Chains A and B, each alone.
Chain A
Amino acid sequence: MAVVFQRPKSLLDVPTHYCPGCTHGIIHRLICEVIDEMGIEGDTIGVCPVGCSVMAYDYFGCDMIEAPHGRAPAVATGVKRTNPDKFVFTYQGDGDLAAIGTAETVHSATRGENIVVIFVNNTTYGMTGGQMAPTTLPGQVTQTTPFGRDPKVQGYPIRVCEMLSTLDGVALAQRVAVDSVPHIREAKKAIRKAFENQRDKKGFSIVEVLSTCPTNWGLSPVEALERLRKDMIPYYPLGVYKDKGDGKND
């Protein structure tokens, strides 16, 4: 019988610690499909910092480094600069990338570090139990905004792709979502483009993936996907914010 669907080779056949209904699994799969299609597992080093992705070193088949909270782009810089022919990607959450690691994110981007950053935005600190993240939406209830995020008190969410798109070192800044089949296909194309940019030495590529956290949002997986569509996409519009290869932003 012909095999029409199977696990990507570089996604290891092990149980994960992710909650049921969480979209990390989809994003892991997309990265691994790209790694397999490009045939680069043996030349790839992944960097996963503190957060829900912290144990991803057990799931990706390539060599893996676990980084301190927020420091993945600096760790990736160290690997990539001393191993320019290898592929290096980071896999970071919103608290990691846009709060504690803001400096590392902005400066690796502006240096044009030739790395891929996969940025999983689920508007919350998932691993520590659902606290306010830099991307938590106005009004969103979290453990540390029990009455909803009030911009007058906690400030406004950060739109990472928009912010980074102003930097000359950025080759690709694209926001995608994994709430529907068309969006998942779009997400994979963006991840593929990011890795191809690295192969072609174009510079820093970030793919922001709008993701869900049913557990900490207190929603069923289906409701969580609905919230992503209804609340997140209007605040974080999908699209390409910077693409050095599109001829518009070179």
Chain B
Amino acid sequence: MVLERNLMKGNEALAEAAIRAGCRGFFGYPITPQTELSAYMAKKMAKAGGVFLQAESEIAAINMVLGAAASGVRAMTSSSSPGVSLKAEGISYMAGSDLPCVIINVQRGGPGLGGIQPSQADYWQATRAMGHGDFHILVYAPCSVQEMVDMVSKAFDTADKYRMPAMILADGLLGQMMEPVTFPEIKAKQPEKPWAANGHGGKRNHNIINSLYLKPEVLQKSVLERFERYEKVKMEESDAESYLADDAEIVVVAYGATARVAKSAVNSARAAGIKAGLLRPKTLWPFPEKQLKEACKNAKAVLCVEMSMGQMVDDVKLALSCSKPVHFFGRTGGVVPKPSEILEEIKKIGGAR
């Protein structure tokens, strides 16, 4: 079977991919630059037999996702940076209740109301502190419209597998751009969810979806159990693309839209006789430590490039245990780095001949 290629905007492709992945509950609130996603869902979700609902707030939206997910339905919400902050409470409750879901963050500049241009300044929030308490969520970082499509399906599957929330950490550039995409074939079957609160029908004991444990030892036990699961996630789910890294003396580390700019800079550096390579994390949590170490085996220096003041660079340093010099180049507030700027940095940190 030949799969159809479509020219689609990133935000719309995310929505279509979610419907095809079996998402049957989408709850959103308008915010630039992700609103096309909700608009697409409004048009298409009912036809797919699912629910689209515009919530009264980001807080209500994530709690509607909580309810749908608690009943065993694949559910999703999407927003952009300031809106994602409002969802933090619900995401923490979902993590504490072991509920799978997918959250889209089409990042824009911050802090505060910030701007509406692309940004990667929510890395710490997504990977370190997506709410109160000890927990992690899966964080995927697509760099093209096609990868957005592929990662939505992967995010739903992985979230279900480990019973934890997953996030697609995109940015305004990816959300707004149009590229050709091919959608994977629709999966026939989703995993059974015997834990779901969807009516026991007199056939089992009642199911309880809950994150409250008043006895410290019991709460500790539940957190420890979750962190054992996280160890498994770290072993099995970290992912990265390595580009010209085998013999690279300068390894650029970048994710999302920035990685595409960085790739151009790496190609220019190679053309100029500099042995540069790229490591592009596809999962930000778990961070692809092994892949990074492998990519940096011949590196003399590492350059981390982000649309922020330097957030992922912390993980790069941790993964390399300070065994290599790690430099940083960033643009923030909605400014996208230019290939020429990154090339300059590559030359500056020791690649110049």
Chain A contact residues, CB within 8 Å of chain B: 41-45, 47, 54-55, 57-58, 60-68, 71, 74-83, 86, 103-104, 106-107
Contact = CB atoms under 8 A, between A and B. Distances in A.
Nearest to A63: B197
Contact of A83 (B66, B71, B200, B211): B71
Contacts of B27: 78
B65 to A, nearest CB: 6
14 contacts: A42-B203, A55-B212, A60-B206, A63-B200, A63-B207, A65-B208, A65-B210, A68-B93, A71-B60, A74-B66, A81-B53, A82-B25, A82-B68, A83-B73
A44 B199 contact: yes
A78 B197 CA distance: 12
B211 A77 contact: no
Contacts of B75: 78, 82
Interface in B141-167: none
Categorize the interface residue count of chain B: 35 or more
B70 interface: yes
Contacts of B60: 71, 74, 77, 103-104, 107
Interface in B44-75: 50-51, 53, 55-57, 59-61, 63-71, 73, 75
Nearest to B56: A107
A79 B70 contact: yes
A75 B55 CA distance: 11
Contact of B199 (A63, A77, A81, A106): A63
Contact of B70 (A44, A68, A75): A75
Given A54-B212, A82-B68, A83-B71, A77 B197 contact: no
Nearest to B89: A68
Contacts of B70: 65, 75, 78-79
Given A42-B200, A45-B198, A78 B206 contact: no
Closest 7 CB pairs of A and B: A78-B67, A74-B63, A78-B64, A107-B56, A63-B197, A75-B67, A78-B68
Given A71-B60, A79-B70, A82-B75, A57 B25 contact: no
B112 interface: no
B199 A74 contact: no
B223 interface: no
A78 B50 CA distance: 12
Contacts of B201: 42-43
Interface in B189-210: 197-203, 206-210
Contacts of B61: 74
B204 to A, nearest CB: 9
Contacts of B226: none
B63 A63 contact: no
Contacts of A78: 25, 27, 63-71, 75
Contacts of B59: 71, 74, 103-104
A134 B70 CA distance: 30
A79 B66 CA distance: 8
A45 B199 contact: yes
A230 to B, nearest CB: 35
A107 B64 CA distance: 12
B66 A62 contact: no
A64 B205 CA distance: 11
A91 B208 CA distance: 15
Contacts of B55: 74, 107
Given A45-B71, A68-B89, A82-B25, A63 B198 contact: yes
Nearest to B211: A66
A47 B89 CA distance: 17
Contacts of A64: 197, 206-210
Contacts of A42: 199-203
